[in-house]
Structure 1
Amino acid sequence: MSAGTITLTNKSATVSGAGTAFTTDLKEGDFIVTVVGGVPYTMPVKSINNNTSLILISNFTGPTQSGVAWSAVPRTALNMVTAALVTSGAEALRGLNYDKQNWQLVFSSNGNITVKLPDGSTFSGPSWNSIVSALNEKADKSALGTAASKNIGNQHGDVMAVGAFGLGGQAVLLNDADISSPLSGSQLFMYGGGGFWGSWGAGLKLNYGSSYNFQIYLQGNGTLASLVQSVTGDPIIRSYYNNGNTTVDSNGFIKKASPIVNIFHDGTFETNDESEGVQVAREGVGVYRVSNVLGMNSDRAWGGNDGGFEIPKDRNGQYILWLDYEIDSDGSILIKTYHRTYPNAPKFARNEREDVKEAEPVDIPADQFLSVRVEMPQDSIWNLAQKAAREEMEQEKAAEE
């Protein structure tokens, strides 16, 4: 940097300095280089008045600024920069001309060619026409199969076409006899349901020689199953739990269940795939109505015929609510919850509250929820979707036959 600082004024050619030595550092035709507001400026000097004042060739176009550091750049230095730029530009153009000539040689010549690189060196090799000619002479094409030296087909050693064994295209539609036999081969398959596999779906079939049939099958209802079957024995079928056929109850345990509705204290609720379309409304303190259902869907895992609920528990495993319910003629369920205490338990486990007494109506605790297993109507969103999928699979099965 040069000595001192300068002051620049917008739309003015006058530059004033503080602590500067313009008469020593500069002469007419030299340049002042500085940065104002992050923007670099290079300004030619027209005349020098004294050590602290000079005139630029043109007005300063940047914002007015004082106390700016600056550098003096001799005119000869910039001339050298300009000469270097001209040299670089000429070299770049020369390289472009070489490229043009080289590509013409590559595509239009026969035999070997020599191309010239920008640094003056050369490289020799075959032209494109000579490469094509050499490839055409490598083999008699009429003696080859449909894919190089292999044929397209389903036999061992063949090249598979798209869709073979259900890969890359639509899966193979199998009937009951093919699905249950290891002799029908390994493949990706689809099935219309109603027979060997009760539900429609798609799967992977693998054979262990001609003795065993292994399958992984994803049913249309989202259930995953597996099968192991010997050619002379009965099939061993296993179903796998997932978030579609289980639920995590309010006490953190996984239970087999679907369709499920989780009800929260303010009447908000969550459904799973099979209970989509259910509505819940809070009608009063501890009173919740579940609609668009056909009553309860209970089994042994949920307490039998009068089950179907999972009531929140405390840390000691005690239910914290009493529960009663009614099923209206339209199938909707009216649920009533009441405060539940344990007067014979230790004081810390009695579930006593000052604002509500034993058996008084109370909402579901704000940090927990009540799970209800419901029966869905035939026209529910889930059931209609399953029906449409089954009909589509039946139509595809009929078309295949």
Structure 2
Amino acid sequence: MSAGTLTLTNSADAVTGSGTSFTTELAAGDFIVVTVGGIPYTLPVKTVNNNTSLTLVSVYTGPTQSGAAWSAVPRVALNMVTAALVAQSAEALRGLNYDKQNWQSIFSGAGNITIKLPDGSAWNGPSWNNISETLNQKASSGANRDITSIGGLTTPLSLYQGGTGGNTHQSACNGIGALQVNRNVLNAGDPHLPTCSFFLGDGQEAGGNGKPYPYSTILNVSESGNTGENGNYSQVSFPSIQESAPRIRQRFGGSSPRLTNWRDFLVRDLNTSVDTNGFIKIASPVVKIYADGSFDVNNESEGITVTRLAVGEYLISGCLGMNADAAWGGIDGGFDIPLDINKQPRIWLDYEVNTDGSILVKTYHRTHPQSPKFARNEIDNLTNGDPIDIPSDSFVSVRVEMPADSIWNQKQEAVHIAMVEARMKEERTDGNNV
């Protein structure tokens, strides 16, 4: 602070001092800095009259104040401050202009851009448009439905990342523990199956090529180390357009290779039936008759009806008598009746085949007087041979002969026609390609 105090008068350019030495501390063009009411004032000096009186360049605009402390600022010092302020302001304006240019590049540029940093260095990086385009192509959390490519990846994704860990078919299959299926499709009859493979054969041929069914799909499994016709393999055939059981055959290689015939799988309610005593038998066409006259049919006996006429009398309609299949014992063996726990028949059974092919099944009470008392099948008020309904906890199986126009036979005929038409179409196509 300078010596003494000042008295300032509002709207006056005269300043008086008390204990001041204006003539030694100030010269025209210097500045007085004084704080009045918390507000600093910088006042330029026009003339120094004496040690206690000076005149300002312009009138003082602040409130009248006496005893104010003050500081003398030489003109040269203030000019330096002003010059520094101008330089700093210019530098700040340049920085602001750089910022404007930078922001313009960031928001309107494409691809990578170069911006000016405050220290004067340059930085190269993506524009906002570039970032936005990249973000639009990223996989979002949750469901993703429109990912068309993943570029720039040279390392296969691991299982934990949703990949397979491999960059070839074989390594990908190994990564997820899967069998590799990249073999050419072979005909069922082709003996040259690939080594150690598991794959499907073709299923679009009308017949031939060793297939057990027309239009069937062949599942082939060959053993490790097989080569050519000397290998071991198994084939399972699944019919494509007809309702039949799958079939299996096997090839045994070596010095005397052997190929087995096709053998049926046993499929319940398709080519087998479970009789009233729980045994599996060759099925179709079979009718199951229950005590109240209700009944079940399988595929080949579809269209059969059963009517309970009286106690122990059941009329089977829609058939042509009994089926003579030897597997059921011939013409009179097409019945299965319920047995007790000692394998004794629980009923007698008789039947008549009417002229229209319908079958009247008759059931009678059956006792076993030669057996111990607990196993005689005695029922109060009934004697051996009395008419009786089929036991309510069981049923009677009857194997019948179906007419040529049965539902099953019509379906088989439709399949046959479809196969013939398909074969003719293939022959026409082959002829056009010659």
The one-letter code sitting in structure 2 at the alignment partner of 1:210 is G
Aligned to 1:111: 112
Measure, in 1, the Cα distance between the counterparts of 2:262 and 2:325. 22
Structure 2 stretches lacking a partner, 5+ long: 1-105, 115-125, 138-148, 153-166, 169-181, 428-434
Measure, in 2, the Cα distance between the counterparts of 1:238 and 1:375. 24
Alignment partner of 2:356: what SS?
coil
Select the residue among 370, 382, 401 that pairs with 1:344: 370
Measure, in 2, the Cα distance between the counterparts of 1:392 and 1:300. 32
Answer yes or no: is the 8 Å Cα contact 2:364–2:385 preserved in 1: yes
* Deviates most, 279-288 or 234-243: 234-243
Aligned to 2:219: 204
Instruction: Map Cα deviations across residues 241-282 of structure 1 (whole Å, 9 max, x no partner).
Output: 011111111112222221111100111001111111111111
Deviation (angstroms), 1:359: 0.5
Aligned to 1:215: 235
Deviation (angstroms), 1:233: 3.2
Measure, in 1, the Cα distance between the counterparts of 2:364 and 2:244. 37
CA gap of 1:130–1:326, structure 2 versus 1, over 3 A, is: closer
Measure, in 1, the Cα distance between the counterparts of 2:282 and 2:402. 17
Question: What pairs with 1:2-401 in structure 2 (closer than 5 Å)?
Answer: 109-111=110-112, 127=131, 129=133, 178-183=187-192, 187-190=200-203, 191-193=205-207, 196-200=210-214, 201-206=216-221, 208-211=226-229, 212=231, 214-219=234-239, 220-229=242-251, 232-243=257-268, 244-401=270-427
TM-score normalised per structure 2? 0.51
Answer yes or no: is the 8 Å Cα contact 1:109–1:127 preserved in 2: no
Instruction: Map Cα deviations across residues 194-238 of structure 1 (whole Å, 9 max, x no partner).
Output: 884454333324555422453211232321111223585333433
Instruction: Map Cα deviations across residues 327-385 of structure 1 (whole Å, 9 max, x no partner).
Output: 11221111111111111111111111113211011110111100111111121111211
Measure, in 2, the Cα distance between the counterparts of 1:107 and 1:396. 65
Answer yes or no: is the 8 Å Cα contact 2:304–2:316 preserved in 1: yes
Measure, in 1, the Cα distance between the counterparts of 2:208 and 2:367. 51
The Cα RMSD (Å) is: 3.8
Measure, in 2, the Cα distance between the counterparts of 1:349 and 1:137. 82
* Deviates most, 282-291 or 298-307: 298-307
Answer yes or no: is the 8 Å Cα contact 2:338–2:347 preserved in 1: yes
The one-letter code sitting in structure 2 at the alignment partner of 1:226 is I
TM-score normalised per structure 1? 0.55
Measure, in 1, the Cα distance between the counterparts of 2:217 and 2:406. 24
Alignment partner of 2:259: what SS?
coil
Measure, in 2, the Cα distance between the counterparts of 1:111 and 1:398. 66
Alignment partner of 1:228: what SS?
strand
Measure, in 2, the Cα distance between the counterparts of 1:339 and 1:294. 28
Alignment partner of 2:262: what SS?
strand
Aligned length: 257
The structure with more radius of gyration? 2
The one-letter code sitting in structure 2 at the alignment partner of 1:284 is A
Aligned to 2:159: none
Higher relative contact order (CA 8 A, sep 6+): 1
CA gap of 1:359–1:195, structure 2 versus 1, over 3 A, is: farther
Answer yes or no: is the 8 Å Cα contact 1:283–1:289 preserved in 2: yes
Answer yes or no: is the 8 Å Cα contact 2:276–2:336 preserved in 1: yes
The one-letter code sitting in structure 1 at the alignment partner of 2:234 is F
